[in-house]
Amino acid sequence: MRIWTALVVGVALASLGGALSAQTGPAPAAAPPLQRQGPPPTAELGDGPWELQSQEAKLHVEVVTKGLDHPWGMAFLPDGSILVTERPGRLRVIRNGVLDPTPIAGLPAIYAPGIAGLTDIVLDPNFASNRLIYLAYSKAAPDTPAGTSPAQTDATLAVMRAKWDGGSTLTEVEDIFIADAWYGKPPLPPKCCGQGPASGSFGGRLAIGPDGKLYVTSGDRNFGERVQDPSNHFGKILRLNLDGSAPADNPFVGRAGYKPEIWTIGHRNQLGLTFDAPTGRLWESEFGPRGGDEVNLITKGGNYGWIDVTQGHHYNGEPAKGIRGVTGMTDPVWAFPPSGNPGNIAIYRGSAFGPWQGDLLLANMSRPSSLLRMVISSDGHVIGMERMLENLGQRFRDVRVAPDGSVYLLTDETAGAILRITPGS
């Protein structure tokens, strides 16, 4: 078994050679030319099922539903149902493998231009008894007059809590946290580096830690100049009590000029976040600028570099101040050359795919994209990589390991799907 495992990792590494050396070699001298043409259309997803051969397992891929609009996050309920968010601002439920055609009512107003909107969902650790759920979303300033265009609106990231009794509407809906990252209403300040619009880069991933705390990714809003300033929530990972307050043992509590909710600093747009229970590690994936997408191991109080340090290129070709190995900054475990377009991540722990134990699965949003399986060494380095499901031609937003060890994917499409992967025969 041990010999077989070593052999398989060797094969995976062989296919990875060029990319691995790019992690330690010098950065390219000049930015590659920026392609400005629109993305190619995504292929329509067939009905499946598909039987696929991957490096270490046969895969049976089936469609659970194709009836979702840009699904973003999902949560498995104790009774086997699945709650799913749709980015435009709807919460859906799948019972016994069937999508309820009626969205669950009771959500607050959601600011949803571009890639903003309703993002992630997690269940309270005591959901079975208290029925509480947490949702991240982007929110317009409360004083915004009705009918104001999104481009004229200040917005930020918020986390709401609600009770869901399994029926048609949420109750006890309240914002437990609103990020101090209001931004978007003109006149906008001048910005460097060819950064994108204020309606992008909200982050919005959630994870509950083994400590029972709520971890929240708060993106840089394409205003990277604010990220290294710890007196705001731009480009941070936050750690909250379940009522939205800051835990007393957060790293910067009581320090002048620091928001007490900050767990880590120096992020751009973190769309993946997951805890690995056996190791206690917190993993994160993050959109960087061109060629600077990252997978990070998150440690308390760390600074992950953005906007000063990146292995990518700024969109206007301006060089970064630092690339890697900068004192005081934590380098990524993995930086994608040239681009990874990472969605959510999951560490595989389950019975269905034995050889994948401890591997990092990453939902990838290139066109066409893949489910990446990254082999992780015991000390937390990437030592192998496999791309799967590229033949389906979809963009993958979310990946989760279900309680039964099967793997669920959300496609980031207008006719968005849930796919379920079980062992093939």
Query: What is the closest distance, in whole angstroms, from the C-beta atom of residue 174 to Ca ion in the complex?
Result: 33
CA distances from 147 to 140, 143, 144, 151, 199 (A): 12, 12, 9, 11, 17
Query: What is the closest distance, in whole angstroms, from the C-beta atom of residue 335 to Ca ion in the complex?
Result: 8
- If binding is defined by CB under 5 A, does position 302 make contact with Ca ion? no
In the bound state with Ca ion, the residue whose beta carbon lies nearer, of 291 and 305, is: 305
Question: CB under 5 A: which stretch of 138-146, 304-312, 315-323, 408-416 binds Ca ion?
Answer: 304-312
| Residue choice 111, 234, 304, 334 for contact with Ca ion (CB under 5 A) | 304
Query: What is the closest distance, in whole angstroms, from the C-beta atom of residue 308 to Ca ion in the complex?
Result: 10
The Cα 63–Cα 395 span in angstroms is 15
Contact 420, 408 (CB under 8 A): yes
Query: What is the closest distance, in whole angstroms, from the C-beta atom of residue 296 to Ca ion in the complex?
Result: 6
In the bound state with Ca ion, the residue whose beta carbon lies nearer, of 259 and 267, is: 267
- The partner residues of 121 in beta bridges, in order of sequence, read 135
Residue whose token pair is 């992950």: 304
Query: What is the closest distance, in whole angstroms, from the C-beta atom of residue 313 to Ca ion in the complex?
Result: 14
- If binding is defined by CB under 5 A, does position 263 make contact with Ca ion? no
The Cα 272–Cα 270 span in angstroms is 6
CA distances from 48 to 44, 52, 220 (A): 12, 11, 38
Q: What is the CA radius of gyration of the chain?
A: 21
In the bound state with Ca ion, the residue whose beta carbon lies nearer, of 220 and 413, is: 220
In the bound state with Ca ion, the residue whose beta carbon lies nearer, of 161 and 290, is: 290
| Residue choice 305, 312, 340, 384 for contact with Ca ion (CB under 5 A) | 305
CA distances from 295 to 200, 207, 275, 292, 302 (A): 20, 16, 13, 10, 14
In the bound state with Ca ion, the residue whose beta carbon lies nearer, of 296 and 411, is: 296
Question: CB under 5 A: which stretch of 41-49, 212-220, 305-313, 377-385 binds Ca ion?
Answer: 305-313
Query: What is the closest distance, in whole angstroms, from the C-beta atom of residue 283 to Ca ion in the complex?
Result: 14
Query: What is the closest distance, in whole angstroms, from the C-beta atom of residue 303 to Ca ion in the complex?
Result: 9
CB atoms within 10 A of CB 85: 29
In the bound state with Ca ion, the residue whose beta carbon lies nearer, of 336 and 408, is: 336
Query: What is the closest distance, in whole angstroms, from the C-beta atom of residue 238 to Ca ion in the complex?
Result: 17
DSSP helix, strand, coil percent of the chain (3-state; round to 5) = 10, 40, 55
Omega before 40 within 30 of 0, i.e. cis: no
In the bound state with Ca ion, the residue whose beta carbon lies nearer, of 71 and 305, is: 305
In the bound state with Ca ion, the residue whose beta carbon lies nearer, of 184 and 305, is: 305
Amino acid identity of 288? G
Query: What is the closest distance, in whole angstroms, from the C-beta atom of residue 323 to Ca ion in the complex?
Result: 10
- If binding is defined by CB under 5 A, does position 200 make contact with Ca ion? no
Contact 71, 82 (CB under 8 A): no
The pair phi, psi for residue 144, each rounded to 5°, is: -75, 120
Q: Which residue pairs, CB below 8 angstroms and at least 24 apart, start in 361-364?
A: 361/399, 361/401, 361/407, 362/272, 362/285, 362/295, 362/399, 363/272, 363/396, 363/397, 363/398, 363/399, 363/409, 363/410, 364/340, 364/395, 364/396
Q: How many residues bind Ca ion (CB under 5 A)?
A: 2
In the bound state with Ca ion, the residue whose beta carbon lies nearer, of 117 and 332, is: 332
Contact 119, 202 (CB under 8 A): yes
- If binding is defined by CB under 5 A, does position 343 make contact with Ca ion? no
* Residues engaged in binding Ca ion (CB under 5 A): 304-305
